[in-house]
Structure 1
Amino acid sequence: MIHLLADTFFGIFSPPFRRKEFLQQTYFVANRSLVIIVFCVCFAAVVTILESSFHMKLVIQNDSMVPGFAAVLILRELAAVVMALLLASRVGAGYASEVGTMRITEQIDALKMLGIDPINYLVVPRLLACIVGATILTVVANMTCLFSAMLISQSYLGYTTGMFLSSMHRFIQFKDIIFAMIKGACFGAVIPLVACYFGFNCEQGAEGVGKATTNTVVIASIAIIVIDFVLSYTFSHLY
């Protein structure tokens, strides 16, 4: 993995720069994942509002802080993490199976015989595309979550749009969005690196491809949770 990280880092600055492949992978990561991410984060936001309201009424008999509390939770944790886990299961599994199949069918060896660096051809465009795509999807997921939270607050809690925005404004800052984008970029970088690592080390046969895909989803999800803890702890000192 360390060897792959080093080769990928130097490959980013080494020609040829595969713009076409980068654009294709960005479309695959961002556009093709948009619908399912928006759908899932909407329901995550609804559950956050409902559960927060229920427990606040139970404990302090007042849910006036629910919009602000939900906005903080959405911007700092919920949207970016849910987006990243969905991306790991969809994009990570796809990359692992693709690279693993190329490995067992000796297509990667064929690239080397043609003088094409597999890292530069396979890993670098996917890494950059995932970073850009995950950052964009983080912003979209946050905006969608906040909009869904505002709608459910209006219909279930009786808060107007102005009341929701006013409460949200008191709790969150612009830096929350910046930190969320940084998280999204870091999560996006992990997914293709883990996927390509297991793809390059895939065992022979269909079972090997399946094992590489499973390992990618599991390890990438664990890495996302750990990175989220590290970044959240770091950002907590910057408020």
Structure 2
Amino acid sequence: MATIKAKRFRWKETFEQLYFIGNGSLVIIVFCVCFAAMVTIVESSFHMKLVIQNDSMVPGFAAMLILRELAAVVAALLLTSRVGAGIAAEVGTMKVTEQIDALKMLGIYPVNYLVIPRLVACILGAMFLTIVANMTCLFSAMAVSSSYLGYTPAMFISGMKRFVQFKDLIFAIIKAACFGAVIPLISCYFGFRCESGAEGVGKATTNSVVVGSIAIIVIDFLLSYAFSYLY
């Protein structure tokens, strides 16, 4: 792979992509993870009462599930649907209209020009959005615990401390970085291999979302399995 020189790195394009990822996805992710956290609290309470007739562990269990899995994975899947599809469509359109061939004729390496800025932006954006998603999830879980289960915020935090460690957040950020890396790589791959016509662009977009979602689930399992040895 060609060496990327600092003077050739497209900082402006990277920041534009980062703005597109963060600004456009923040509201969607916050909205979705809030309801995901609420469902987690309600279902956890129902099943714990059903099995052990006590839901005192719900705050801690829900907080652990949110930090380790829920927020990072939901945010990544939403990013795949929105950002991944957008990248695949953009790169695919450039391929169909021969803009990528024009870059090659000008001596510009398409991977450096198109992929790297999006890769860096997606990694940083996914990490930031995962942190926001985690905080939002915990706040929503705390609110539902207070209104639905009768646990005060102090009781929720106390229960959370028994289950959650700071490294759970660190592991979630590492997961987010991996998810953020795989989204543009898969999207650009299908974009570069896009067939001619509108049908080809649509097919590349669909494939990028499907394969990206599967990759996120598989990577999440592999990372969770690896992190289990670090607790």
TM-score (norm 2): 0.98
Deviations 1:70-101 (A, max 9, x none): 00000000000000000000000000000000
Deviation at 1:125, TM superposition (A): 0.1
Give, in whole Å, the separation in 2 of the partners of 1:54 and 1:167.
18
Aligned residue type for 1:88: T
Aligned residue type for 2:215: A
Relative to structure 1, is the Cα distance of residues 38 and 218 closer, same or farther in structure 2, using a 3 angstrom cutoff? same
Aligned residue type for 1:167: G
| 1:131 paired to 2:106 | no
> Equivalent residue of 1:33, what SS?
helix
- Matched length: 231
1:146-225 equivalences in 2 (<5 Å): 146-225=138-217
Give, in whole Å, the separation in 2 of the partners of 1:26 and 1:206.
27
Give, in whole Å, the separation in 2 of the partners of 1:208 and 1:167.
52
Q: Do the aligned residues in 2 keep the contact of 1:11 with 1:120 (CA within 8 Å)?
A: no
- 1:3 is aligned to none
Give, in whole Å, the separation in 2 of the partners of 1:191 and 1:134.
10
Deviation at 1:11, TM superposition (A): 5.1
- Give unpaired runs (5+ residues) of structure 1: 1-6
Deviation at 1:13, TM superposition (A): 5.4
Deviations 1:24-80 (A, max 9, x none): 000011121000000000000000000000000001000000000000000000000
Which portions of structure 1, spanning 4 or more consecutive aligned residues, are displaced by more than 4 angstroms? 10-15
- Give unpaired runs (5+ residues) of structure 2: none
Aligned residue type for 1:82: V
Deviation at 1:116, TM superposition (A): 1.4
- 2:95 is aligned to 103
Deviation at 1:143, TM superposition (A): 0.3
Give, in whole Å, the separation in 2 of the partners of 1:222 and 1:172.
28
| 1:46 paired to 2:42 | no
Relative to structure 1, is the Cα distance of residues 139 and 12 closer, same or farther in structure 2, using a 3 angstrom cutoff? farther
Aligned residue type for 2:152: T
Q: Do the aligned residues in 2 keep the contact of 1:30 with 1:133 (CA within 8 Å)?
A: yes
| 1:20 paired to 2:12 | yes
- 1:144 is aligned to 136
Aligned-pair identity in percent equals 77
Deviation at 1:117, TM superposition (A): 1.3
Deviation at 1:196, TM superposition (A): 0.2
Relative to structure 1, is the Cα distance of residues 102 and 91 closer, same or farther in structure 2, using a 3 angstrom cutoff? same
Give, in whole Å, the separation in 2 of the partners of 1:21 and 1:136.
18
| 1:112 paired to 2:104 | yes
Deviation at 1:113, TM superposition (A): 1.4
TM-score (norm 1): 0.95
